[in-house]
Amino acid sequence: MGYYYFDWTYILVIAGALLSLLASWNVKSSYNRYARIANMRGLTGAEAARRILEANNVMNVQVQHVRGELTDHYDPRTQTVNLSDSVYNSTSVAALGVAAHECGHVMQHETGYVPLQIRTALVPAANIGSRFGIYIVILGLILAFEPLTTTGIWVFSLAVLFQIVTLPVEFDASRRALSMLEGYGMMGQEEVGGARKVLTAAALTYVAAAAASVMSLVRLLILRDNRRR
């Protein structure tokens, strides 16, 4: 009679997936709530971004519109702050928070913020790690060749490191954003509180992603060690 073996390490995978889903739901819920509240100055996300850049004498970065929802990002290669459909022309508290957050990344780049430099340097290695690391591990386990398995784990670790380094970068960008929105008189304290909730929810998606990556790494280590026995 055959029997089934339950691999308990799948619990780590499931827990990571649930964390990511919860964080995603939380950020959408927070964003949608404050996307319905207009800021008292009537500024659009694009106008707020331009004001922040001008206030900091950053003349070489352009603010432009990109398609999609929550596809906002700062691209240091093209020196552009890219704002999505729901941010660029919106006057909501959420839109200003997101726009200011991307400008926070600009200020990190302008001031040589070290964690951002480390994250940027890790991008090529992290891409390789996220794409091929697990597959190398699986191949090593199938072939029962531990050096290959260990190599895969090290490669995947680069992607995990990238996720971890991303955390201070995102939290710092939000801190800068809230400080600039209030300091430059674009939001009152109550509105800043709403923007803080949106940006905190967004930051927690990165925390969830990092936690899920760490759990996956722990699972790979356990699978390798089990094969040694």
Distance from C-alpha of 132 to C-alpha of 152, rounded to nearest angstrom: 8
3-state helix, strand, coil in the chain (%, to 5): 70, 5, 20
Q: What angle do CA 112, 191, 185 make, to 5 degrees?
A: 60
Distance from C-alpha of 203 to C-alpha of 167, rounded to nearest angstrom: 8
3-state class of 63 per DSSP?
A: strand
Adjacent-strand bridge partners of 87: none
Identified catalytic residue from 47, 102, 170, 191: 102
Chain centroid to Cα 114, Å, comes to: 17
Query: What is the secondary structure of 82-136 as a DSSP string?
Result: EE-HHHHT--BHHHHHHHHHHHHHHHHHHHT-HHHHHHHHHHHHHHHHHHHHHHH
The answer to whether residue 47 is catalytic is no
3-state class of 32 per DSSP?
A: helix
Adjacent-strand bridge partners of 73: 82
Q: Which residues are catalytic?
A: 102
